[in-house]
Amino acid sequence: MTPQVPLERRTVAELMTADLLTIAAEESVLMAWELMCKAGVHHLPVVDDEGGFLGVVDAQTLTALWDSGGPRRARRPVTDLLAERDRTAVRPADPVPAAARSMLESGTDYVAVTNDDGALVGLVTAYDIIGELAGVPLDKGEQRSGMPSLYRIEPVLPGSPPGPGERARARDRRPR
């Protein structure tokens, strides 16, 4: 049996979840709610069209700031829920204690993991750290490559204007 490296000497890359569901900045608060409910996640990173990290919407913030002022308020951009503290991030090579400190300083139970260009590559939550400390690491699935798997779901509604992904797909289908 190989002795396990103590958690405080491990890197964020060893602990982070790289297989993430994300939401585009221009999507609505309602879409964020739907995605979180359907996927059963408590943290939903918000990214721009280039994959740049803008922040994280968590279930607590979403429910606390939910505006029951009608459908138009639910369709406001998800970025309305982001606070400056949401941009807190660590790098994959940082030690796990740096991620824990970042969570404490920002008052959140998560920290985003970004590369040197500011692109999102993963997420570490307090639950991840507690699981490791308890000796019950979470099954994060097998990562097939060195790249993170970021998913973004775009709604397809009759009569709605096409989103950025739909416009790109339409360009790809044009005859040349």
The answer to whether the CB of 78 falls within 8 A of the CB of 152 is no
For residue 139, tell me if it sits in a domain.
Answer: yes
34 three-state secondary structure: helix
This prediction's pTM: 0.72
For residue 2, tell me if it sits in a domain.
Answer: no
**Where in the sequence is the domain holding 60, given as residue range(s)?**
7-173
Report pLDDT digits (tens) over 123-174.
Answer: 999 999 999 988 887 665 544 444 444 455 555 555 555 555 444 444 444 4
For residue 1, tell me if it sits in a domain.
Answer: no
For residue 116, tell me if it sits in a domain.
Answer: yes
Better-scored residue on pLDDT, 19 or 148: 19
Is a pLDDT exceeding 60 seen at residue 40?
A: yes
Better-scored residue on pLDDT, 3 or 137: 137
For residue 158, tell me if it sits in a domain.
Answer: yes
Number of domains in the chain: 1
CATH of residue 133's domain is 3.10.580.10
Name the strand (E) or helix (H) holding 69: none
Query: Helix count (H) and strand count (E) of the chain?
Result: 7, 7
Q: What is the distance between the alpha carbons of residues 36 and 123, in angstroms, rounded to a whole number? A: 15
The answer to whether the CB of 105 falls within 8 A of the CB of 87 is no
Mean pLDDT of 53-58: 89
For residue 149, tell me if it sits in a domain.
Answer: yes
pLDDT on residue 1: 43
The answer to whether the CB of 27 falls within 8 A of the CB of 164 is no
Which residue has 């097998």 as its token pair? 142
For residue 101, tell me if it sits in a domain.
Answer: yes
Report pLDDT digits (tens) over 96-111.
Answer: 999 999 999 988 899 9
